Structure 1
Amino acid sequence: MSPDLAAMLRLDPDALPPVEGRSAFYDDVMRGLTLRQKTLPAKYFYDTEGSRLFDRICELPEYYPTRTEIGILRDHADDIAAFAGEKAALIEFGSGSSTKVRLLLGAMRHPAYVPIDISGEHMIEAVERLRLDYPDVPMHPVETDFTQDAALPTIISGRRRIGFFPGSTIGNFTPDQAEAFLRRAAGTLGAGAGFVVGVDLKKDPAVLHAAYNDRQGVTAAFNLNLLARINRELHGEIDLAHFRHLAFYNAAAGRVEMHIESLKRQRVRIAGDMFAFRNGETIHTENSCKYAVDEFQALAKRAGWHPEVCFTDADKLFSVHLLAR
């Protein structure tokens, strides 16, 4: 592993916490590494360190989704505020740094804000920064896995609920999973709700390749942080120098795939269990599905949502969809 990559991951092998019982992370790692195609759920990218690295990815020159979506939200913030209505509760699924929501909170009239994120510490820090800039907006963070049923705070009762799911995170699901998520979100948000969803569009594969294989290696560090997290939290004994980041566009499936590839035949120990890797064998860590506008709208309809309007940038790189129930 290069010194730069090690620095990005802030590795400290002498500071491993004890394994305290079973956790969902433990169960998913143990299960995922026994499959024929080894896999780890992408939601585990976003511990504190992974969230920090993803914030860096969003600032990379190759990574067009963030700046393009921000441009769309800025241009159409008033349209989205009108769609939401006065005194709406904005529910952000996977809020992260809560950066893009600022564009909507600044345009909406008397909103409330409910961020939902699995990385509680990162979310709370982001909410504290938001409160300084929007002191009149009630904020009620919910620390949970947004892909599961979430109980929203009762204090937002009586407000119209508007889901917010930016960043093309919807693309991390397979189409069937995306449909199931939209259907579950409909139940969480309730009758009369709206949904603002960022969706990455299909485009030149060369643009996609550059976005997921940046020259600085930040995406590589973000991907390999999954292994570093296993070392930190599950007493893993994985030498990250024997693995590498791999990302490519799968045209047949319409998605970018991220993998972690073993650079040799090896065995690694995790929480006392051994896992064997062949030379070139991969752990599939993430999909990023790309959609044409009509493809996503058809998917949303199957999940019980009505497409109201779609905003795109001039270069047709990205889209923001307004959905209603």
Structure 2
Amino acid sequence: MLQVATGEAAIIELLSGEYLEEQLCRHLEHRYLPDYLLYLGEWGAGNWLELDRSPQFRVAADLTDLLREHAASVVERFPAGASLVSIGTGSGEKERLVLEAMCGRDRPRYVCVDVSRRLVETALRTVDDLPIEKMGVVAFFEDLPVLRRLWRRPVVVAMLGNNFNNYDTDNLLDTVRAQLAAEDLFLFDSHLFAGRTEEIERVYQSEPNVRFNLGPLVRCGLDPEHCRFHLKLDCIQTVVGPVRRTRKWLEVLDDSVVTAGGRMLRLGAGEIIRMGFTCKYTLDQIEAYLRRHALEVADRRLSRDGTNVLFSVRQRLAGAS
């Protein structure tokens, strides 16, 4: 059931908090902490919202500035009557910019998706005063085929705030393209690699980002003084050439005990907990991936300093070059 404007919007949970807690325990048993678990619960969501506002970590904020500058003209290219389905909404401020522009044409339908129920609730409140239909879904990006049952075409599937860079790109584009009809669009942004390796490492090793990455273990009872966060920017070979990708890990400094999913886990001094990654592409590399997956650029906006880009892409029609 959908509510309009200031009413309560429905939230569908494809993921429960209990399931995510079980996943945290299972992964920690194998000394792995995937990035989606950084957003777990009130603690994780609060840590993310704090990081998102931090002047020391401007990645998402700079992309929001780019979207704010171009939202109206980007939306002009959306199909009439489009719905917005955004994956990984966070606070929902970026989506609000898009929806405000869409409201100038018609009353859009909005489906906000995140792995954190707290962030879904926050994103819905962010647009509470807009004349739109809205609903929230607690789900993974990989649930996109299921989410397709919840939207009305034409649809704009969005991944904003550098989310595009946090996935295996071939798998991401395969998944998205499989859900798009001819009139649909995929809207995403990316913080580009501009050759400043040391600057990237400095930003990702900043205190607010370290606190965010330690969050799940601290919540589970780990003393932050008993572990150390490490990050390196590696160069890896891909189908589009050499790509920079972060490699993160936590080093346990002292024997510790944490509680996850109702279970106690012992972490020994010297143990390593592997973590997720973020890729840094050049503009040419992103466009090469799009061609590889038969997606054509409907709109592209580049920041003045060339470090951030906003894409709107669609299926390439058969026979198109």
Please say whether Structure 1 and Structure 2 have the same fold, judged by a TM-score greater than 0.5: yes
Aligned length: 287
Contact preservation (8 Å) 2:244, 2:280: yes
Counterpart among 159, 163, 173 of residue 182 in structure 1:
173
Indicate the residue corresponding to 1:144 in structure 2: 139
Note the C-alpha offset of 1:146.
2.2
Note the C-alpha offset of 1:240.
3.4
Letter aligned with residue 263 of structure 1: L
Give yes or no for the alignment of 1:195 onto 2:186: yes
Indicate the residue corresponding to 2:118 in structure 1: 121
Structure 2 gap ranges (5+): 1-15, 237-242, 316-321
Indicate the residue corresponding to 2:88 in structure 1: 94
Give yes or no for the alignment of 1:51 onto 2:41: no
Counterpart among 178, 199, 221 of residue 207 in structure 1:
199
Letter aligned with residue 171 of structure 1: N
Can you list the C-alpha shifts for 1:215-234, whole angstroms capped at 9, x where unaligned? xx2212111112134x2xxx
Contact preservation (8 Å) 1:33, 1:39: yes
Letter aligned with residue 119 of structure 2: H
Give yes or no for the alignment of 1:222 onto 2:212: yes
Note the C-alpha offset of 1:249.
1.9
Can you list the C-alpha shifts for 1:269-301, whole angstroms capped at 9, x where unaligned? 55546455452x432222110001111122233
Can you list the C-alpha shifts for 1:191-218, whole angstroms capped at 9, x where unaligned? 431011111211211321232122xx22
Q: What's the RMSD between the two structures over aligned residues? A: 2.6
Give yes or no for the alignment of 1:293 onto 2:283: yes
Relative to structure 1, is the Cα distance of residues 304 and 25 closer, same or farther in structure 2, using a 3 angstrom cutoff? farther
Letter aligned with residue 166 of structure 2: N
Note the C-alpha offset of 1:24.
4.8
Relative to structure 1, is the Cα distance of residues 302 and 31 closer, same or farther in structure 2, using a 3 angstrom cutoff? same
Contact preservation (8 Å) 1:260, 1:283: yes
Question: SS at 1:73's partner residue?
Answer: helix
Relative to structure 1, is the Cα distance of residues 139 and 278 closer, same or farther in structure 2, using a 3 angstrom cutoff? same
Relative to structure 1, is the Cα distance of residues 139 and 22 closer, same or farther in structure 2, using a 3 angstrom cutoff? closer
Contact preservation (8 Å) 1:113, 1:138: yes
Identity value in percent: 21
Contact preservation (8 Å) 1:33, 1:275: no
Indicate the residue corresponding to 1:74 in structure 2: 68
Indicate the residue corresponding to 2:296 in structure 1: 306
Give yes or no for the alignment of 1:39 onto 2:32: yes
Structure 1 gap ranges (5+): 1-19, 232-236
Indicate the residue corresponding to 1:83 in structure 2: 77
Question: SS at 2:284's partner residue?
Answer: helix
Indicate the residue corresponding to 2:58 in structure 1: 64
Letter aligned with residue 23 of structure 1: Y
Relative to structure 1, is the Cα distance of residues 68 and 24 closer, same or farther in structure 2, using a 3 angstrom cutoff? closer
Letter aligned with residue 247 of structure 1: L
Contact preservation (8 Å) 1:179, 1:300: no
Letter aligned with residue 213 of structure 2: N
Indicate the residue corresponding to 1:130 in structure 2: 127
**How far apart, CA to CA, are the structure 2 residues paired with 1:75 and 1:322?**
15
**How far apart, CA to CA, are the structure 1 residues paired with 2:252 and 2:83?**
45
Contact preservation (8 Å) 1:186, 1:193: no
**How far apart, CA to CA, are the structure 1 residues paired with 2:84 and 2:118?**
20
Indicate the residue corresponding to 1:14 in structure 2: none
Relative to structure 1, is the Cα distance of residues 129 and 170 closer, same or farther in structure 2, using a 3 angstrom cutoff? closer
Contact preservation (8 Å) 2:110, 2:133: yes
**How far apart, CA to CA, are the structure 1 residues paired with 2:178 and 2:79?**
20
Relative to structure 1, is the Cα distance of residues 222 and 79 closer, same or farther in structure 2, using a 3 angstrom cutoff? same
Tell me which moved more, 44-53 or 239-248. 239-248
Contact preservation (8 Å) 1:183, 1:303: yes
TM-score between the two structures when normalised by the length of structure 2:
0.80
